[in-house]
Amino acid sequence: MSTKINLRQVVFSLSRALDLVGVDDMHHGKRVAFMAYACSQHLPMDNHERDTLIQAAMLHDCGVSNTNTHSKLVKEFDWNCSQIHCKVGEQLLSSCPVFSHLAPVIAYHHTHWKRLQDLDIPNVIERDSNLIFLVDRVDALIAQQNMPEPIMAKKIVREKIKSYRGTLFSPELVESFLKASNLSAFWLTLESEPLYDMLRGWVAGGQDQMIDFDSLRSIAQIFAKIVDAKSPFTVEHSQGVARLAKQLAHWDGQSAEVADKLELAGLLHDLGKLRIPDEILDKPDKLNEMEFSVMQGHSFESHYILKDIAGLEEVALWCSQHHEKINGSGYPFKSEGDEISRPSRILAVADVFQALAQKRPYRGSLQLEDIFTIMDNMVQSGNIDASLVNLIREHEKECYQIALFESD
């Protein structure tokens, strides 16, 4: 399966997912991308280099899955443990051929310029990673001033960045920042609406290109790993759901294309969980009503992140429906009956089965007998598809192994 995709659209949508980790401080990646772009206007760079810089800037925090790490990165100017998320991000991106060229930039995006001088890395990597570091710190400094508008922090932030010229940041990059940030438009674009407009313009200027299924899967896998890393209890959940949904599609007689797309949907279905605060996701007890309603938002968020990627419309729809119930009592749209397609039903049962087979904060891993008791009850109440539960039952041992990555 090959799909026509605008890669800029994918980066934009996926940066939305990463920005959700900020919970109440959204759009960090996008602000960093805009500021890097604005500074790049004062540097000798061609359009291709600028494009690479924007992509790296949008994805620079892909090594951050939990909200606590995110808030440390914003609240502290030079946090001791910041290198961890750089390494995680580098590893994630280097596993994906489409984005592997961005990995070295991510690796050094919290390394002081003085230290970069001792490392043997290409000038372009040094420039891009140090520029992302600089504007990333600008964003943190703005947040730390606690002002109602970013522009109110202009003077103090410019002074502080100037004071790190030649130590944390390259003198040439500090100059480019001082020129770019001299304009009030620079600060005003940091507000969410102008920011979105500016980046949507960048997306619209991107070309569609044919991407093969393996490349698409490797992109989806990056994000599945970020979501799954958010909680120790969901390690490999998305990956297990993806493998199981694909296999169920084959057994169910679906086309190879639907099976491939279901694998993508499995990898991406819980993207919206990046917005759930760690305390709710890892809570060892039952969630209260308010916490549960926050938790329920995740399938809507997954849909919101994916809906604009032309070529992945079905994947976005199936992801949005993975908590819908056939009797209409699910969420977020209360779809019912035929509104829930066969692939959506497959994804839903794969999700339930994997989650029951996997250990959770409040219980251990369930055995097949207990899993079927629960799933049969769900069928009886009209939540999930009876024929698909039977399909799992026919291949129960295999399903268990596929869901948990066990070998024979």
Q: Which residues bind Fe ion (CB under 5 A)?
A: 61, 136, 270, 351
- State which residue, 79 or 251, has the beta carbon closest to Fe ion: 79
- State which residue, 19 or 351, has the beta carbon closest to Fe ion: 351
- Most distant CA pair in the chain, distance: 68
d(CA 227, CA 229): 5
Structure tokens at 256: 């190879």
- Least CB distance from residue 44 to Fe ion, whole Å? 25
- State which residue, 1 or 355, has the beta carbon closest to Fe ion: 355
Q: Identify the active-site residue in 230, 246, 261, 273.
A: 273
- Least CB distance from residue 293 to Fe ion, whole Å? 14
CB within 8 Å of 118: residues ≥ 6 apart: none
Distance from the Cα of residue 230 to its chain's centroid: 11
359 phi, psi to nearest 5 deg: -65, 145
- Least CB distance from residue 105 to Fe ion, whole Å? 13
d(CA 314, CA 311): 8
- Least CB distance from residue 210 to Fe ion, whole Å? 30
- Spell out a b/e string for 75-99, using b for 16 or more CB atoms within 10 Å of the CB, else e: eeeebeebeebbebbbbbbbebebb
- State which residue, 125 or 349, has the beta carbon closest to Fe ion: 349
Residue type at 303 in one-letter notation: H
- Least CB distance from residue 136 to Fe ion, whole Å? 4
CB within 8 Å of 50: residues ≥ 6 apart: 37, 40
- State which residue, 18 or 219, has the beta carbon closest to Fe ion: 18
Residue type at 30 in one-letter notation: K
- Return the SS3 of 402: helix
Verify whether residue 75 is a known catalytic residue: no
The residues that are catalytic are 273
